[in-house]
Structure 1
Amino acid sequence: MSKKLSFRKDINGLRAWAALAVLLFHFQLLHFSGGFAGVDVFFVISGYLMAAILYPQVYQNNLNLFAFYNSRIRRVAPALIALVFILFVFGCFFLIRLDFNELLTESRYAATFRYNLKYSDFDYFGRSVNEHWLMHTWTLGIEFQFYILFPVILFAINKITKIKKQVVNILLAISIVSFLAMLYKLSVSPQKAFFLLQYRIWEFLAGSILFIYQYKLEENNYNLLINRFLKIILSFFGWGILIFFFLFVKENNSWPDYRSIFPVLATLLIIAPGKDTFLTKNIIAQKIGKASYSIYLWHWPVYVGFILFGLDNIYQLCCAAILSILLGFFSYYFFERPNFIGRLSIIKQLFLMVLLIISVDKFLQLVSNEKIKLPIENQSIHMEKYFEYSTEKGRMCLDNAELCLFGVDNEKPSFILLGDSHAGSIVSGLEKIAFDKKKSFLLFASHGCAIITGIKSDNKNYEKCLRLNESINKIISSNPNVKIVILNRYNEYLLRHNEKDDFIISPLYINKKPDINNAELVNLVRSELAQGFFTTTCRLSENNSVYWVKPIPEMGVNVPNELIRAKFYHNSDISIRVSKKDYLDRNNKILQLQEKSEKNCKVKLIDPTTILCDQDWCYSSDKDNILYKDDDHLNPWGAAKIAPLFEELFN
Structure 2
Amino acid sequence: MKKEGKSIATSASPAILPVSPEDRAQPHIAYRRDVDGLRALAVLPVLFFHLGLWPFSGGFVGVDIFFVISGYLIASIIARELEQGRFSLTGFYARRIRRIFPALFAMIAVTIAAGSLILLPLDYRALGMSAVATVLFSSNLYFARQSGYFGAAGEEAPLLHGWSLAVEEQFYIVFPLLMFLIFRAGGRFRPALGMVALLSFLAALLLVDRSPVAAFYLPFPRAWEFLGGALLATGRIPVMRSPLMAQLCGLAGLALIGWAILNFSNATVFPGANALFPVLGAMLILHAGLTGSLVNRLLGHAVPVAIGRISYSHWPIIVFWTYRTDGDWRLREQLLIMLLSLLVAWLSWRFVEEPFRRARSFTTSRAFAFAGSLVMAGCGAGALLYFSGGLPSRVAPSVAALDAASRSMAYLPARCSGMAPARHHRLCPVGARNGRAPRFLLWGDSHAQALRPAFDRAGNALGLSGRIASYPACPTLLGLDRLDQPPAHDCSEFNRLVLETLRASPSIHTVFLVSRWGLCANGKRPEGGTPCYLGRDEDDDRSLGRDAQLFRAGLQETVRTLAAMGKQVILVAPIPEFRRNVPETLARAELYSEPAPLALSRADYLRRQRGVFNAFDQMRRRFPVKILYPHSLLCRTGHCAMTVHGVPLYSDDDHLSRQGSLMLTGMVYDAMKPADKKS
- Residue in structure 2 matched with residue 221 of structure 1 by the alignment: none
- The correspondence of residues 466-481 of structure 1 with structure 2, limited to 5 A, is 468-477=498-507
- Residue in structure 1 matched with residue 75 of structure 2 by the alignment: 51
- Residue in structure 2 matched with residue 84 of structure 1 by the alignment: 108
- Residue in structure 2 matched with residue 444 of structure 1 by the alignment: 468
Shift of 1:46: 0.9
Verify the 8 A CA contact 2:406 2:581 in the aligned structure 1: no
Q: Distance in 2 between matches of 1:15 and 1:248?
A: 18
Verify the 8 A CA contact 2:589 2:596 in the aligned structure 1: yes
- Superposed CA deviations along residues 561-583 of structure 1, whole A, max 9, x for unmatched, are 23333443471233332765665
Shift of 1:239: 7.9
| 2:145 corresponds to 1:145 | no
Verify the 8 A CA contact 2:210 2:488 in the aligned structure 1: no
Q: Which amino acid aligns with 1:329?
A: W
| 2:381 corresponds to 1:356 | no
- Residue in structure 2 matched with residue 333 of structure 1 by the alignment: 350
Question: Please, what TM-score do these two structures have when normalized by structure 2?
Answer: 0.76
Shift of 1:88: 0.9
Distance 1:285 1:593, change over 3 A: closer
- The correspondence of residues 59-458 of structure 1 with structure 2, limited to 5 A, is 59=83, 63-120=87-144, 122=147, 129-161=154-186, 164-165=187-188, 167-183=189-205, 185-213=207-235, 226=241, 233=247, 237=251, 241=255, 244-245=258-259, 248-254=262-268, 255-256=270-271, 257=274, 258-261=276-279, 263-269=281-287, 271-273=289-291, 279-291=298-310, 293=311, 296-297=312-313, 299-310=314-325, 312-339=329-356, 343=361, 346=364, 349-350=367-368, 352-354=370-372, 356-370=374-388, 375-378=393-396, 380-384=399-403, 386-387=405-406, 401-406=426-431, 415-432=440-457, 437=461, 439-448=463-472
| 2:593 corresponds to 1:565 | no
Gaps spanning 5+ residues in structure 2: where? 1-25, 420-424
* SS of structure 2 residue aligned to 1:486: strand
Q: Distance in 2 between matches of 1:578 and 1:183?
A: 46
Q: Distance in 1 between matches of 2:141 and 2:134?
A: 10
Tell me how many residue pairs correspond in the alignment: 621
Shift of 1:89: 1.5
- Superposed CA deviations along residues 502-558 of structure 1, whole A, max 9, x for unmatched, are 45768xx9xx544477669x9798677434422333134x2x544332232333532
Distance 1:305 1:450, change over 3 A: closer
Shift of 1:470: 3.5
Verify the 8 A CA contact 1:580 1:615 in the aligned structure 2: no
- Superposed CA deviations along residues 115-147 of structure 1, whole A, max 9, x for unmatched, are 333334859xxx965433223222212221221
- Let me know the Cα RMSD of the aligned residues: 4.5
Verify the 8 A CA contact 1:627 1:637 in the aligned structure 2: yes
Verify the 8 A CA contact 2:122 2:404 in the aligned structure 1: no
Q: Which amino acid aligns with 1:118?
A: Y
- Residue in structure 2 matched with residue 220 of structure 1 by the alignment: none
Question: Please, what TM-score do these two structures have when normalized by structure 1?
Answer: 0.79
Matched-pair identity in %: 25
Q: Distance in 1 between matches of 2:437 and 2:542?
A: 48
Deviates more, 1:96-105 or 1:615-624: 615-624
Gaps spanning 5+ residues in structure 1: where? 218-223
Verify the 8 A CA contact 1:4 1:52 in the aligned structure 2: no
- Residue in structure 1 matched with residue 64 of structure 2 by the alignment: 40
Shift of 1:209: 1.4
Q: Distance in 2 between matches of 1:202 and 1:566?
A: 46
* SS of structure 1 residue aligned to 2:355: coil
Shift of 1:63: 3.7
- Superposed CA deviations along residues 441-470 of structure 1, whole A, max 9, x for unmatched, are 434233336557899997489898766543
Q: Which amino acid aligns with 2:322?
A: I
Shift of 1:325: 1.8
Deviates more, 1:311-320 or 1:24-33: 24-33
Verify the 8 A CA contact 2:356 2:362 in the aligned structure 1: no
* SS of structure 2 residue aligned to 1:315: helix
Verify the 8 A CA contact 2:477 2:558 in the aligned structure 1: yes
* SS of structure 1 residue aligned to 2:137: coil
Q: Which amino acid aligns with 1:153?
A: L
Verify the 8 A CA contact 2:71 2:229 in the aligned structure 1: yes
Shift of 1:638: 1.7
* SS of structure 2 residue aligned to 1:573: coil
* SS of structure 2 residue aligned to 1:634: coil
Verify the 8 A CA contact 1:235 1:273 in the aligned structure 2: no
Verify the 8 A CA contact 1:424 1:443 in the aligned structure 2: no
Shift of 1:637: 2.5
- Superposed CA deviations along residues 613-651 of structure 1, whole A, max 9, x for unmatched, are 469765545685532211221112321332221232344
* SS of structure 1 residue aligned to 2:627: strand
Verify the 8 A CA contact 2:260 2:277 in the aligned structure 1: no
* SS of structure 2 residue aligned to 1:445: strand
Q: Which amino acid aligns with 1:145?
A: Q
Q: Which amino acid aligns with 1:552?
A: I
Q: Which amino acid aligns with 2:343?
A: L
Verify the 8 A CA contact 2:519 2:532 in the aligned structure 1: no
- Residue in structure 2 matched with residue 644 of structure 1 by the alignment: 666
Shift of 1:411: 8.5
Q: Distance in 2 between matches of 1:130 and 1:158?
A: 43
Deviates more, 1:403-412 or 1:197-206: 403-412
Shift of 1:101: 2.5
Distance 1:105 1:515, change over 3 A: farther
- Residue in structure 1 matched with residue 655 of structure 2 by the alignment: 633
Deviates more, 1:51-60 or 1:81-90: 51-60
Verify the 8 A CA contact 1:548 1:603 in the aligned structure 2: yes
Verify the 8 A CA contact 2:65 2:278 in the aligned structure 1: no
Rg larger for: 1
Aligned partner of 2:572 among 536, 539, 549: 549
| 2:510 corresponds to 1:487 | no
